[in-house]
Amino acid sequence: EKSGYDHFMLKEINEQPTALRQCLRGRIDELDGTIDLDDIADLDHDGPIQFVACGTSYHAALFGAERLRTAGVQAHAYLASEYASERVPVDEGTLVVGVTQSGETADTLRALREAARAGATTLAVTNTVASSAARECDHALYIRAGPEIGVAATKTFASQQLALALLAFALSDGPTREELEALRDIPGQVQTILDTTDARAVAEAYADADAYFFIGRGYHYPVALEGALKMKEITYRHAEGFAAGELKHGPLALVTQNTPVFAIVTGNGETARKTIGNVKEVEARDAPIVAITDGESDVTRYADHVLEIPAVGDLGGSVLANVQLQLVAYWVANLLGRSIDKPRNLAKSVTVE
């Protein structure tokens, strides 16, 4: 059932173009230039939006919340396990979105139940039809990634990103023509990355590193966190993701010749220029730099390795950059002989709080 791949994880990484096409199927109206989400046709909301989620799904939620704020909607992502302690204000006017691949994560279910008790409208964004989250929430939006066997979430993260981008457009001003086309083109561009990636060579160059750091800004910050989480989970190596601007506030002390820094940079605007400023800071400490970039800026000048992605702007670029990081983590774990599909101490579905 691994279809010739050594691991489910690699199979699932390679299934992403198909998963993403399934996620989009019937949801983009090319003629009208609109997004139609049949699953939530009766959801009509124009108040604040809160996301609750854990782990990789939380990283997708950070991305979705940012997309909504870009459209002027008040939105914030919370760790489900902290939702109660943080005393997040929630009432009848709030939409609370649980992002959960399995639909069974205990912390996420609990946060959704608390929100429902406070009168909020609830929405599950999930991969699993008839899961607890889908059944208990007022609404469910399916990401349609297909079954994921590897414990490390890969294709379901990409599908969550895409489904949350669709949701954000559906709950705000619809997409422009260019934005719509950009969404539609993502599956093909993921295929291009899978066909041309140098991730294995990068993994070989740095399989003996002391630690792996990932930096990004804006949409690329959740991807930096996700790149590090994937690396930790399957290689058992120290990895951290940082908001690029936070480096000089402490983490820079960890940076050495043996800690590669993966920098996600797309476009050539202010966000890119600021991250390149941070790249220069780590370059001055002799850290190897791996740029995940569309080649629009001069970040390649400072990079020891470049993992290329097509130029599609920041939103799509963060989906594409993540695919390169999945592959780097996979190949490092493979070189180290790890139990890639079933990492130690981890379960696919976490049903205890």
> By C-beta, is 152 or 312 nearer to ligand F6R?
152
> By C-beta, is 233 or 240 nearer to ligand F6R?
233
**Considering only residues 153, 164, 170, 190, which one is a binding residue for ligand F6R as defined by CB under 6 A?**
153
Question: How is residue 172 annotated by DSSP?
Answer: S
- In angstroms, give the least distance from the CB of 186 to ligand F6R: 21
CB 186 within 8 A of CB 20: yes
**Considering only residues 16, 81, 94, 105, which one is a binding residue for ligand F6R as defined by CB under 6 A?**
105
**Considering only residues 57, 122, 132, 259, which one is a binding residue for ligand F6R as defined by CB under 6 A?**
57
Structure tokens belonging to residue 269:
């605007």
Count of residues near ligand F6R by CB under 6 A: 15
Catalytic residues: 348
Which range binds ligand F6R by CB under 6 A, 41-49, 52-60, 84-92, 241-249?
52-60
CB 28 within 8 A of CB 22: no
| Site for ligand F6R contains 172 (CB under 6 A) | no
- In angstroms, give the least distance from the CB of 239 to ligand F6R: 13
β-strand pairing of 239-243 with 34-35: unpaired
Instruction: List, in sequence order, every residue forming a beta bridge with 225; answer none if it has no partner.
Output: none
* Interacting positions 272-331 with ligand F6R (CB under 6 A): none
Question: How is residue 176 annotated by DSSP?
Answer: P
Supply angle C-alpha 158, 223, 330, rounded to 5: 70
Strand ranges in 217-332 using DSSP code E only, listed in sequence order = 239-243, 261-265, 289-293, 305-308
- In angstroms, give the least distance from the CB of 133 to ligand F6R: 8
- In angstroms, give the least distance from the CB of 46 to ligand F6R: 27
- In angstroms, give the least distance from the CB of 116 to ligand F6R: 17
* Interacting positions 233-262 with ligand F6R (CB under 6 A): 233
- DSSP reduced 3-state for 156: helix
CB 275 within 8 A of CB 216: yes
Classify 47 in phi/psi space as left (phi over 0), alpha (psi -120 to 50) or beta: beta
- In whole angstroms, how far apart are CA 61 and each of 51, 80, 275? 6, 11, 22
| Site for ligand F6R contains 102 (CB under 6 A) | yes
| Site for ligand F6R contains 54 (CB under 6 A) | yes
> By C-beta, is 160 or 278 nearer to ligand F6R?
160
- In angstroms, give the least distance from the CB of 229 to ligand F6R: 6
Strand ranges in the chain using DSSP code E only, listed in sequence order = 28-29, 34-35, 49-53, 75-79, 95-100, 121-126, 139-142, 212-216, 239-243, 261-265, 289-293, 305-308
| Site for ligand F6R contains 101 (CB under 6 A) | yes
> By C-beta, is 125 or 307 nearer to ligand F6R?
125
Which range binds ligand F6R by CB under 6 A, 32-40, 53-61, 162-170, 172-180?
53-61
> By C-beta, is 14 or 102 nearer to ligand F6R?
102
Which range binds ligand F6R by CB under 6 A, 100-108, 174-182, 185-193, 327-335?
100-108
> CB within 8 A of 100, min separation 6: which ones?
53, 54, 57, 108, 109, 124, 125, 126, 131, 133
> By C-beta, is 175 or 222 nearer to ligand F6R?
222
- In angstroms, give the least distance from the CB of 280 to ligand F6R: 32
β-strand pairing of 95-100 with 49-53: parallel
> By C-beta, is 28 or 165 nearer to ligand F6R?
165
Query: Angle between the 220-235 and 55-70 helix axes, to the nearest 10 degrees?
Result: 170
* Residues at the interface with ligand F6R (CB under 6 A): 54-57, 100-102, 105, 108, 152-153, 229, 233, 349-350
